[in-house]
Amino acid sequence: MAANVSRALRTIALAAVAATGLTALTGCGASEPVPAAASGAAAGEGRTSYPLTIENCGTTVTITAAPTRTVSLDQDSTEILLSLGLQDRMVGTASWTDPVLPALADANAAVPRLADNAPTYEVLMGADPDFVTASFGRHFKEGGVVTRDRLASSGIPSYLAPSDCDNGKSVNGGTGQRTTPLTVDTLYTEIRELATIFDVQSRGDKLIADLTSRAAAATQGMDFSGASAAFWFADTKTPYVAGGLGWAQMLASMTGMTNVYAGSTDDWPGVGWESMVAAQPSVLVVGDLQRDRFPGDRLNDKLTFLTQDPLARTIPAVQTNSIIALHGAELNPSIRFVDALEKIRTWWDTKKAQG
């Protein structure tokens, strides 16, 4: 996909994470001297060479200069951009499941919210973007906000999170299924590529290093010893639970849980409560979504249902109150995976102390 846009940017390169899919990029190792960046860029930045061409989920994207008017169509993408200090280059956000991370609240307040959920095409274009990012391909499919081809025809490059890509195709915007399990390296690739596009590589390095350190501290010595678990995202009528190749499965693997729906290749397959009861999870991880899109999005509604429904209340995790609440954004591919790990660790430590 070609794009004719002009702006100024920067990149990320963590030594522990291999670079993938980047071309037309001048690279510098952490120990190499970094030339002075143009346009007053901070030391350690200014390494991206434009035009920059990347392969992004089956689409070739060419960026002629750093974006200065970005719209992010998902909270996960938004919080990465804000963490990279790019709020002054953003003109809109959308699709929120939770309040913004407290540490990013001030930066987020400087960026207009176009919609709580998906904006219309007219609202998106009314922000006059020169770059559009999304975490989920549903925004870029026919019937979504806008197709990537339509953006390209307007000279606007786009970017889809690698976590929503499998074999060059969007999962949430197309196939619905995965063939390869998600790992944290997929998130680090997204951070690194966005930092490259915006030419803020050192900021990306720092963010990845911080996430890596926090994840290691949260999981050190924690082991659920294969305890059976289900991850319930939303909907009391047909609960959407985590399959075996998505982000929640990664959380299960990192903490030693056994996902009772690990055999599903869907990210969030819908199941019946009879299925959940039959699976007998001893731990239930539930999403606390600050929205009202499905029945039972919010934590209190979920807990009320679990204790009152004649089927649900027979689940072992409900009977022993082995329920861990995580924000919706912590169950989706995002920098919040470390917050999820830290909450799981706190719950595990408490249970362990109680014997």
Supply 282's token pair.
């001893």
> For residue 12, is it within any domain?
no
pLDDT at 101 over 50: yes
Q: pLDDT per residue over 238-271, tens digit each?
A: 999 999 999 999 999 999 999 999 999 999 999 9
Q: What is the mean pLDDT of residues 322-328?
A: 95
Kindly give, in sequence order, each residue whose CB lies less than 8 Å from that of residue 276, ignoring residues fewer than 6 positions away.
Answer: 230, 232, 239, 241, 311, 312, 315
Same domain, 72 and 171: yes
Residue span of the structural domain in which 151 resides = 22-212
Residue tagged 């929120």 (tokens): 96
In 10 A of CB 240, how many CB atoms? 18
Phi, psi angles (nearest 5°) of residue 227: -55, 135
Q: What is the mean pLDDT of residues 94-105?
A: 95
Same domain, 281 and 179: no
Which neighbouring-strand residues pair with 54? 22, 61
Same domain, 341 and 243: yes
> For residue 332, is it within any domain?
yes
Answer whether 336's CB lies under 8 Å from 329's CB: yes
> For residue 314, is it within any domain?
yes
Confidence of residue 45 (pLDDT cuts 50, 70, 90): low
How high is the pLDDT of residue 349? 95
**Reduced DSSP (H G I as helix, E B as strand, rest coil) percent helix, strand, coil of the chain, to 5:** 40, 15, 45
For the domain that residue 106 is a member of, what is the CATH number? 3.40.50.1980
Instruction: Give me the long-range contacts of 79-82 (CB less than 8 A, separation at least 24).
Output: 79/104, 79/329, 79/334, 79/335, 79/336, 80/190, 80/191, 80/194, 80/207, 80/334, 80/335, 81/133, 81/194, 82/107, 82/108, 82/111
> For residue 4, is it within any domain?
no
pLDDT at 14 over 60: no
Cut 0.75: pTM above it? yes
> For residue 269, is it within any domain?
yes
Q: pLDDT per residue over 278-317, tens digit each?
A: 999 999 999 998 888 888 889 999 999 999 999 999 999 9
Q: pLDDT per residue over 179-231, tens digit each?
A: 999 999 999 999 999 999 999 999 999 999 999 999 999 999 999 999 999 99
Phi, psi angles (nearest 5°) of residue 18: -75, 140
Kindly give, in sequence order, each residue whose CB lies less than 8 Å from that of residue 289, ignoring residues fewer than 6 positions away.
Answer: 97, 98, 233, 234, 297, 298, 327, 328
Residue percentage of the chain with pLDDT more than 70: 87
What is the DSSP annotation of 160-226?
E-GGGEETTEEIIIII-B-SS---HHHHHHHHHHHHHHTB-HHHHHHHHHHHHHHHHHHHTT---TT
